[in-house]
A and B are shown apart, each in its own frame.
Chain A
Amino acid sequence: GAVVSQHPSRVICKSGTSVKIECRSLDFQATTMFWYRQFPKQSLMLMATSNEGSKATYEQGVEKDKFLINHASLTLSTLTVTSAHPEDSSFYICSVKGGAQYQETQYFGPGTRLLVL
């Protein structure tokens, strides 16, 4: 399957600062990436769909001005948490939607643990 990386794997920041998380597709060009958020002992919650060269599509209830997504190339999507607050602390996971060769399957990155103090 597709190989996906995320950076950083964990980050601690102060309240009010912004944090950028990178998601990279390492072995194929991905036109579509997804961003999820996961709270402890819970399932994944889809935040947004990121399409290369166009604006991201956000799920209902997700603040697009707070969670900025940029999919500037076919191998990189970034999620920026702006003016982070303690309630933004969570596990953020990206996924890449494989093309025809991967039967449209989603492959996930290892996740980024964000802690806002």
Chain B
Amino acid sequence: AQSVTQPDIHITVSEGASLELRCNYSYGATPYLFWYVQSPGQGLQLLLKYFSGDTLVQGIKGFEAEFKRSQSSFNLRKPSVHWSDAAEYFCAVGGQGGKLIFGQGTELSVKP
């Protein structure tokens, strides 16, 4: 069955430090992969997506993610975190009919 796992429920990093949020997926075919960010009380904003081609994907707000087929992973990274990055981050894989299968989410806190 298709699934997405985000192993870290909550991560705290210091402002200016690097960030990596983990995402592992289970999907039979070549996956469509997404990272979304959600601020409190808001909808989801697309950060980046992978469909095919270059496995290192650049997104908005300085984020990037790398697709590693051998590890079934699509980890999100940012070299220097800003206080405004504090939010909930969701990894998702595109399923049948365009549906999205979401991970449980990772809450990011940023220390000053």
A34 at the interface (CB under 8 A from B): yes
Let me know if A104 is at the binding interface, CB within 8 A.
Answer: yes
Q: Which of A93-112 contact B (CB under 8 A)?
A: 93, 95, 97, 103-111
Q: Is the CB of A105 within 8 A of B45?
A: no
User: A57: nearest residue on chain B (CB-CB)?
Assistant: B97
Give the A interface residue count (CB, 8 A).
25
Is A11 an interface residue when CB atoms closer than 8 A count as contact? no
Assembled-state Cα–Cα distance A105/B103 (Å): 17
Kindly state the separation between the CA atoms of A4 and B44 in the bound complex, as whole angstroms.
Answer: 11
Interface residue A43 (Cβ < 8 Å from any Cβ of B)? yes
Q: Is the CB of A34 within 8 A of B99?
A: yes
Q: Is the CB of B45 within 8 A of A43?
A: no
Q: A44-B102, A49-B99 are in contact. Are A103 and B43 (CB under 8 A)?
A: no
Task: Describe A's contact surface by its main secondary structure.
Answer: strand
Question: Which B residues lie at the A interface, using CB under 8 A?
Answer: 32, 34, 36, 41-46, 49, 51, 90, 94, 97-100, 102-105, 107
Binding site for B on A (CB under 8 A): 1, 4, 6, 32, 34, 41-44, 46, 49, 91, 93, 95, 97, 103-111, 113
What are 8 A-B interface contacts by the 8 Å CB criterion? Answer: A32-B98, A44-B90, A107-B46, A108-B44, A108-B45, A110-B42, A111-B43, A113-B41
